[in-house]
């Protein structure tokens, strides 16, 4: 986001605390309306729900089968969003569900966050476990603390997308897809009989309901049309909670369907007020353009101003990349708790002290694909230790043993149109098929990998796998060191020699719709001297398909590619060690050709580079041609 002063662009995309301080000095608000950029939560942040409490905004988004799940973001200014906790951060809060979930887009569906009498509530539905599908309700008095979130109270939610609403007499209700409402006992989870409310305006999948009480009316806002090109937000109202509801004559009140806008699939929204009484809304959107082909970050969170006069229908401002609306609260990063801001770079060395000194906590913005196996990850004095998993990263997730679906993977959301992600790997494979590397990951059925793997009786190869298109490159002999990853103090990590390699994934301005994978010698003072460009793949491979509800994660993996039994690789299989984890955002597209750079001071134009153009820095205001082929 950027204030009209022009300084807040640096703050919006979160490069440094110094940038935040610079904007804070500008003074809040000189005046009237503010100008900002969408998305406010870039990267996979679908189905947003938000609430404001004592001047702090809190938002939750969908996570499906990733874990930890249901992130809570906090902000005082609607610009800087700090990742302060996960609602579902312990397997014990909902035991036995994660590994029993086979589908790639099951798990924690759209949640709602609400606050009442000092307690925060997050209500959701968990899907994908057959007869055990359940509504789940979590609560906390301190949303800045993972440990404060309660175990899940399960209830028999008949449909997805539950909303939590209290009537004037204090009675709690849950509204779900359909749309219907039921009384709910928040202590026991007991729910009353369903009461149909409204089927929408005729679009498919009326869902994502939220109920608001305004003066003499109950307003019911929903999504319909399905979460793709026809997505829209509609609203109806009644003088009784149970209806009948009258449709707004201006429906849909928010949509980008049928337009050529860069932001498409706008829908599934929530409304809230700031401390000054101004109304705002959030919704999901994809930066795909009307072609709806290339959108690897999936469904992101966008912000729009709302005008809602007493007794009238709310007016929602159409979603665009550059927005103008109510005065924003004064810019600040002054928030309690730990955790990164969503737009900040990653600088993680995983320099924990091991079991003797106490392990360093995993950074909050990193997630797994389901709850990880016990002992699969640990921060040690030598870096992040990852135990190889028997299941391949791109293996079919089914199997007789549900636990076999667990993979050794950890990653962070891709949160920028242009970025560089790199990590140093130390690995000494001692049997064929042992592999560790980096990945751009959408689902187990759609991902790109660059791994260091032992093949054919001991050959070390760099293997690039783009959805089944495989290319092997020999590892230079001089990259192999005598010894092991751990110096022999743990055992099980001493192959014929250790390779210390830096692996990199980039999206660059010259080809902003392709992922580029490279490897280089990590120990070289100038690693670029040994750079090997291993492969390129189009982002279209990670757009939609098996991951239409989710978005790309960038991270690391380790596998023995099926050796062993059950979920375990053979005894003595070496671990992989990762250090120097770096992610740097290098630009956000807010139209198909215009970039909001990480630092507004880089040039006179709105692009990244020489400042002559509004595009990707080549001076002509146009983005480079999008690659559609694996190279």
Q: Are 78 and 57 in contact (CB under 8 A)?
A: yes
Q: Are 631 and 470 in contact (CB under 8 A)?
A: no
Q: Are 69 and 284 in contact (CB under 8 A)?
A: no
Query: Tokens 């992989």 correspond to what residue?
Result: 576
Q: What HEC string does 411-453 produce?
A: EEECCCCEEEEEEEEEECCCCCCCEEEEEEEEECCEEEEEEEE
Tokens of 27: 């003074």
- The pTM is what? 0.89
Tokens of 80: 């800087």
User: Are 32-325 and 346-602 in the same CATH fold?
Assistant: no
Residues pairing with 517 in the sheet? 505, 535
Whole-angstrom Cα distance, residue 26 to residue 9? 13
Whole-angstrom Cα distance, residue 83 to residue 74? 7
Give the pLDDT score at 398: 56
Q: Are 37 and 323 in contact (CB under 8 A)?
A: yes
Rg (CA), the chain: 24
Tokens of 82: 């700090």
Give the pLDDT confidence of 188-243 residue by residue, as tens digits: 999 999 999 999 999 999 999 999 999 999 999 999 999 999 999 999 999 999 99
Give the pLDDT score at 618: 28
Whole-angstrom Cα distance, residue 496 to residue 477? 12
- Angle at Cα 214 formed by Cα 210 and Cα 217, nearest 5°? 85
- Angle at Cα 515 formed by Cα 512 and Cα 519, nearest 5°? 130
Give the pLDDT score at 310: 86
Give the pLDDT score at 361: 81
Kindly list the domain boundaries of the chain, sorted by start residue.
32-325, 346-602
Q: Does domain 32-325 have CATH number 2.115.10.20?
A: yes
Give me the residues of the chain with pLDDT under 70, please. 1-32, 352-360, 396-405, 482-496, 597-631
Give the pLDDT score at 337: 93
CATH for the stretch 346-602: 2.60.120.200
Which candidate, 541, 518, 531, 535, places its Cα nearest to that of 626? 541
Backbone angles phi, psi at 481, to 5 degrees: -105, 155
Whole-angstrom Cα distance, residue 123 to residue 112? 5
Give the pLDDT score at 400: 54
Beta-carbon-side half-sphere exposure of residue 505 (alpha carbons within 13 Å)? 33
Q: Is 207 assigned a catalytic role?
A: yes
Tokens of 253: 């009140």
Give the pLDDT score at 484: 54
Catalytic residue among 77, 146, 161, 207: 207
Catalytic residue among 47, 161, 424, 575: 47
Whole-angstrom Cα distance, residue 559 to residue 463? 13
Tokens of 204: 């498919």
Q: How far is CA 260 from CA 285, 289, 290, in A?
A: 14, 6, 5
**Per-position b or e across 232-262, b if 16+ CB within 10 A of its CB:** bbbbbbbeebebebebbeebbbbbbbeeebb
Burial of 526 by CB count in 10 Å (0-12 exposed, 13-18 middle, 19+ buried)? exposed
């Amino acid at each position: 986001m950027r204030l009209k002063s022009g300084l807040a662009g640096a703050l919006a995309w979160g490069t440094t605390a110094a940038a935040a301080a610079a904007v804070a000095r500008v003074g809040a608000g000189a005046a009237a309306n503010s100008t900002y950029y969408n998305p406010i939560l870039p990267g996979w942040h679908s189905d947003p729900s938000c609430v404001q409490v004592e001047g702090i905004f809190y938002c939750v988004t969908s996570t499906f089968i990733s874990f930890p799940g249901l992130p809570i973001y906090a902000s005082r200014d609607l610009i800087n969003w700090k990742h302060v906790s996960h609602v579902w951060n312990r397997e014990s809060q909902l035991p036995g569900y994660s590994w029993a979930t086979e589908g790639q887009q099951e798990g924690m569906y759209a949640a709602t966050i609400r606050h009442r009498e000092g307690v925060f509530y997050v209500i959701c539905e968990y899907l994908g476990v057959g007869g055990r599908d359940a509504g789940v309700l979590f609560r906390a008095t301190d949303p800045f603390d993972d440990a404060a979130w309660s175990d899940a109270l399960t209830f028999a939610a008949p449909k997805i997308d539950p909303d939590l609403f209290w009537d004037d007499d204090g009675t709690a209700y849950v509204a779900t897809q359909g749309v219907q409402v039921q009384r709910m006992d928040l202590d026991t989870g007991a729910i009353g009989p369903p009461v149909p409310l409204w089927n929408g305006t005729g679009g498919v999948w009326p869902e994502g309901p939220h109920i608001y009480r305004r003066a003499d009316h109950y307003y019911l806002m929903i999504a319909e049309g399905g979460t793709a090109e026809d997505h829209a937000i509609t609203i109806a109202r009644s003088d009784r909670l149970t209806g009948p509801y009258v449709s707004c004559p201006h429906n849909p009140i928010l949509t980008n369907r049928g337009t050529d806008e860069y932001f498409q699939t706008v829908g599934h929204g929530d409304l809230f007020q700031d401390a000054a009484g101004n109304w705002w809304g959030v919704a999901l959107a994809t930066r795909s353009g009307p072609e709806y082909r290339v959108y690897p970050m999936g469904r992101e969170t966008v912000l729009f101003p709302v005008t809602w006069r007493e007794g009238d229908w709310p007016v929602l401002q159409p979603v665009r990349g550059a927005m103008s609306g109510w005065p924003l609260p004064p810019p600040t990063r002054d928030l309690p708790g730990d955790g990164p801001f969503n737009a900040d770079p990653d600088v993680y060395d995983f320099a924990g002290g091991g079991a003797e000194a106490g392990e360093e906590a995993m950074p909050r913005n990193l997630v797994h694909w389901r709850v990880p196996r016990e002992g699969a990850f640990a921060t040690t004095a030598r870096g992040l230790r990852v135990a190889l998993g028997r299941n391949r990263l791109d293996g079919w997730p089914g199997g007789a043993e549900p636990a076999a679906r667990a993979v050794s993977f950890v990653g962070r959301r891709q949160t920028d149109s242009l970025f560089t992600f790199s990590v140093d790997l130390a690995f000494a494979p001692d049997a064929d098929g042992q592999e560790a590397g980096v990945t751009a990951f959408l689902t187990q059925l759609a991902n790109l990998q660059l791994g260091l793997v032992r093949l054919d009786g001991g050959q070390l190869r760099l293997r690039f796998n783009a959805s089944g298109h495989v290319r092997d490159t020999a590892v230079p002999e001089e990259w192999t060191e005598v010894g092991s990853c751990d110096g022999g103090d743990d055992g099980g990590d001493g192959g014929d020699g250790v390779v210390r390699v830096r692996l990199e994934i980039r999206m660059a301005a010259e080809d902003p719709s392709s992922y580029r994978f490279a490897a280089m010698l990590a120990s070289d003072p100038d690693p670029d001297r040994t750079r090997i460009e291993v492969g390129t793949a189009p982002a279209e491979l990670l757009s939609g398909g098996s991951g239409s509800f989710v978005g790309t994660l960038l991270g690391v993996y380790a596998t023995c590619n099926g050796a062993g039994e059950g979920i375990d690789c053979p005894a003595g299989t070496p671990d992989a060690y990762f250090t120097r984890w770096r992610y740097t955002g290098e630009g956000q597209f807010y139209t198909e050709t215009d970039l909001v750079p990480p630092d507004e001071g880089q040039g006179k134009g709105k692009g990244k580079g020489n400042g002559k153009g509004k595009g990707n820095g080549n001076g002509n205001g146009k983005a480079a041609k999008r690659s559609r082929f694996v190279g």
